Structure 1
Amino acid sequence: MTESFPPGLMISAPASGTGKTTVMLGLLRALAEDGLKVQPFKSGPDYIDPAFHRAACGRASYNLDRWAMGPDLFGAIASQAEGADICVAEGSMGLFDGVASRGLSGFGSSAETAQAMGWPVVLVIDVSGQAQSAAATALGFARYDPDCHVAGVILNRVASPRHERLTRLGMERAGMPVLGALPRRGDLVLPERHLGLIQAVEHPDLDAAIAGYAEFLRAHVDLRALRDLARAGAIPAGGLLPTPPAQRIALAQDAAFSFTYPHVLEGWHRAGAEILPFSPFADQAPDPSADLVWLPGGYPELHAGKIAAAGQFLDGLRAHARSKPVHGECGGYMVLGAALMDKQGLRHEMAGLLGLVTSYAQRKLHLGYRQARLLSPLPGHAPGARLRGHEFHYSTILEQPDAPLAEVCDADGAPVPETGSHRGHVSGTFFHLIAAEGV
């Protein structure tokens, strides 16, 4: 059984850092300004970009992930495009970048997402330091996989009219349509920190920045041609979005706790769960009537002193944990622990509900997909359940005296030491949950 979806396209690139996010945001805003209902998507496990997408076009953006999601969940998330006029998806990393071992539906590349949805790909190519040679890159991407349709390119960071003319000559020889050429501009860069872009809520003037991107694209990109490229695909009919782990969920939401996948929250809402937001950053305690407290990931290391001094929040968290479950992901997990060392090496006392001690003074990158088999319950999942998620942080474990929550491996099945842990009603993981296997 299949369902038809609105026409769409994938904005991708040969590699990270080419400027595809600013192109994506400008395109979303320009199409919305033209009166279209635009449904944004993000290919892969990124949890920062979707918030920027929503700011650009006013519609929630969802992750589509061929490694972590089975066909039913993938279809259910794609179905969020109902009522839209056009879908625009942003790729992650390079177009064909994925993992070595097949996941629930594929290897996790943006090319797989585009193929599953029937979307053509527009490549954003950084032509800095080259001219006609950029066409060889474009041609290689177009021919690498005949099932992935690369429909055209947008040239980015063009240095001069002569540079543009030479680059276009190369693309013409390769038979690659040029949909636009963006002159080099230093102000078209989103602020970044160690986990990538800053959060949308932290941008000092995000709406004005996105409006500027849209104006820039209108001046240098053929928006009508881009719209005409969009194609409607057909994918397997979807199942259900993730079900809520409790009826009343107190969810930490602020600048320190913000990394929750949109499809997870949408599933909770649709199933009738009550989401009770609170801000640890503002020293708010979780609602005492909640059945579950959920601390998402975020940037607690940037606010460790303020969190350590948030007495009402910490006391409320401890009171809840005496009789009801508390779960934390990544940054939320660290806050549930005994202490967090910031990048200067200062120790900040956390909730103490787990024995975990982490440090940002000893930085080490932990990045990649995770597959887990639960050894103990996690809210909404019984022991033995197999989960898929993603981990991305720079913290180092100094102490972890509690029982492991799960057996955790990377995408290729190699064990990783960040197993999560549990004590009493409290549990935590370093990975952000995307889906349960079989969903």
Structure 2
Amino acid sequence: MTSGVPGIVVAGPRSGSGKTTVTLGLLRAFTRAGVRVAGLKCGPDYIDPAFHARACGRPSLNLDAWAMPPGALAGLAAEAAQGCDLVICEGLMGLFDGVPGLPGRAGSTADVAAALGWPVLLVHDVSGQAQSAAAQIAGCAVFDPRISLGGIILNRVGSARHHALVAAGLARTGLDVLAALPKAPELSLPERHLGLVQAEETADLDRRLDAMADFVSAHLSLDVVRALAKPSAAIGADPLGSPIPPPGQRIALARDAAFSFVYPHVLDGWRRAGAAILPFSPLADEPPPEEADCCWLPGGYPELHGGRIAAASQFLGGLRAFATRRPVHGECGGYMVLGESLVDAAGTAHPMAGLLSVRTSFAKRKLHLGYRDAETLQPSSLGPSGTRLKGHEFHYASIVDLGGDLPLARVQTAYDESPTLAGSRRGPVSGTFFHALVATQQLA
């Protein structure tokens, strides 16, 4: 499977350069101009793809160069491009930032751009510098010969004089500057501890996206950006199929503001395998649908809704009854809700489902972040014992008491650290703090 639809990667030298504003502005501006455009996101980010989808009206998928081999990246890119005229892929962190890994498998934006052969549109924040910006941008242009910079967007330019000084330095590099964006703090999106406030919770989001589109298109030619994009040069693109085997044929999926972190490519894979997704809302006190044969509680923000979840008697009672006969799995926030209790930021302990013995707390925040290479030790909704998975962990909650349940998996980080035990399993109920991206046996 290959795609002749042109694509481009929007990246920055570091986090906070402005690539999200540029990406969302381009997606909405192209959509308003009648161009069928789709978004993609480098890395395991859950939140940005939902903004992409809102901006252009099409699903946005994650491309992760650490978890997915190049053929799978190309297959997902081709899937996203179906019925489109253009694909815009937003990078993660800095352009070359990743983890130790095999060539092309470090999880960086550059790895994705190289795998697909798409040019990079580099967004550089020039606040606090002038001619020195040229040295950093020139370094990005030559650091990795696998990629090419299609053009430069200067962001947060302070004045005409500031622009002139930056341009004077860049004139020595021969690189094309496509736009100079002035400072626009009013375009910033609200944030919380795991990144942006979710798209469905962001007030007046369509007005905000239209404002980004107006801003970007006022300073940057859409025709120039479209002309820079190139069809994927990937060879041997493979459809990802079902990246994680569906845990059942009728999957009850918790879906609301507390349970929202589900990878679109995982859901698509389940559907391709013939599974039906049956959403329900714990915050609305809905139990898992009775006709489901398994239940999946994804991550999200249960720590912000501990009181409501604890008071949701129909949800908790229905979940407990469901688990007496059918499997239940929780990822990250879902794992916390399956446990005995959850302590919120104020220090209040809320009783949870009690289907696992783990107790968690958000009162004292500690960042847990990074890739996880996992092998299951027990059969569960993730697969039989011995299932190999690549996943990601990003949360601030901590385990206060793991309890006496069986460990679910043995996990290792990307830094060759000693393996550790992770997750819990009791009967048909299982949970982990890591989110599974792919089951690696299927990608061999």
TM-score by length of structure 2 reads 0.96
Contact kept? 2:409, 2:421, Cα under 8 Å: no
> 1:138 aligns to what?
137
Deviation at 1:418, TM superposition (A): 6.3
What is the rounded CA distance, in whole Å, between the counterparts of 2:377 and 2:213 in structure 1?
A: 49
> 2:19 aligns to what?
20
Contact kept? 1:67, 1:107, Cα under 8 Å: yes
> 1:44 aligns to what?
43
Report percent identity of matched pairs.
Answer: 57
Deviation at 1:380, TM superposition (A): 4.5
Letter matched to residue 2 of structure 2? E
What is the rounded CA distance, in whole Å, between the counterparts of 2:89 and 2:132 in structure 1?
A: 27
What is the rounded CA distance, in whole Å, between the counterparts of 1:210 and 1:376 in structure 2?
A: 45
What is the rounded CA distance, in whole Å, between the counterparts of 2:207 and 2:186 in structure 1?
A: 12
Please state if 1:436 is matched with 2:439.
yes
**Counterpart secondary structure, 2:187:** coil
Contact kept? 1:295, 1:327, Cα under 8 Å: yes
> 1:90 aligns to what?
90
Between 373-382 and 349-358, the greater mean CA deviation after superposition:
373-382
Contact kept? 1:5, 1:82, Cα under 8 Å: no
> 1:413 aligns to what?
416
What is the rounded CA distance, in whole Å, between the counterparts of 1:10 and 1:111 in structure 2?
A: 9
What is the rounded CA distance, in whole Å, between the counterparts of 1:364 and 1:380 in structure 2?
A: 27
> 2:367 aligns to what?
365
What is the rounded CA distance, in whole Å, between the counterparts of 2:418 and 2:288 in structure 1?
A: 35
> 1:175 aligns to what?
174
Deviation at 1:66, TM superposition (A): 1.0
RMSD: 1.3
Runs of 4+ in 1 over 2 A off after TM superposition: 2-5, 70-76, 415-418
What is the rounded CA distance, in whole Å, between the counterparts of 1:386 and 1:325 in structure 2?
A: 19
What is the rounded CA distance, in whole Å, between the counterparts of 1:373 and 1:83 in structure 2?
A: 38
Please state if 1:60 is matched with 2:42.
no
> 1:223 aligns to what?
222
| Cα 1:206/1:219, change in 2 over 3 Å | same
What is the rounded CA distance, in whole Å, between the counterparts of 1:341 and 1:409 in structure 2?
A: 27
What is the rounded CA distance, in whole Å, between the counterparts of 1:358 and 1:415 in structure 2?
A: 24
> 1:340 aligns to what?
342
**Counterpart secondary structure, 1:307:** helix
Deviation track 1:155-203 (CA, whole Å, cap 9, x = no partner) reads 1111111111221222122111111111111112111111111100110
Contact kept? 2:199, 2:205, Cα under 8 Å: yes
Please state if 1:318 is matched with 2:317.
no
> 1:300 aligns to what?
302
> 1:327 aligns to what?
329
Contact kept? 1:132, 1:170, Cα under 8 Å: yes
Aligned residues: 437
**Counterpart secondary structure, 1:268:** helix
Please state if 1:383 is matched with 2:382.
no
Contact kept? 1:11, 1:91, Cα under 8 Å: yes
Between 416-425 and 122-131, the greater mean CA deviation after superposition:
416-425
Deviation at 1:4, TM superposition (A): 3.3
What is the rounded CA distance, in whole Å, between the counterparts of 1:58 and 1:416 in structure 2?
A: 42
What is the rounded CA distance, in whole Å, between the counterparts of 1:263 and 1:350 in structure 2?
A: 29
> 1:238 aligns to what?
238
Letter matched to residue 404 of structure 1? P
> 2:252 aligns to what?
250
Letter matched to residue 405 of structure 1? L
Letter matched to residue 102 of structure 2? R
> 2:198 aligns to what?
199
What is the rounded CA distance, in whole Å, between the counterparts of 2:2 and 2:346 in structure 1?
A: 54
What is the rounded CA distance, in whole Å, between the counterparts of 1:61 and 1:129 in structure 2?
A: 34
Contact kept? 2:408, 2:421, Cα under 8 Å: no
What is the rounded CA distance, in whole Å, between the counterparts of 1:417 and 1:147 in structure 2?
A: 35
> 2:283 aligns to what?
281
TM-score by length of structure 1 reads 0.97
Q: Could you list the runs of 5+ residues in structure 2 that have no partner in the other structure?
A: none
Letter matched to residue 96 of structure 1? F
Deviation at 1:283, TM superposition (A): 0.6
What is the rounded CA distance, in whole Å, between the counterparts of 2:412 and 2:146 in structure 1?
A: 31
| Cα 1:245/1:74, change in 2 over 3 Å | farther
> 1:99 aligns to what?
99
Mapping 1:266-277, distance limit 5 Å: 266-277=268-279
Letter matched to residue 134 of structure 2? A
Q: Could you list the runs of 5+ residues in structure 1 that have no partner in the other structure?
A: none
> 2:114 aligns to what?
115
Contact kept? 1:368, 1:391, Cα under 8 Å: yes
Letter matched to residue 295 of structure 2? V
Between 34-43 and 346-355, the greater mean CA deviation after superposition:
34-43
What is the rounded CA distance, in whole Å, between the counterparts of 1:413 and 1:300 in structure 2?
A: 32
What is the rounded CA distance, in whole Å, between the counterparts of 2:128 and 2:237 in structure 1?
A: 45
What is the rounded CA distance, in whole Å, between the counterparts of 1:241 and 1:55 in structure 2?
A: 25
| Cα 1:118/1:256, change in 2 over 3 Å | same
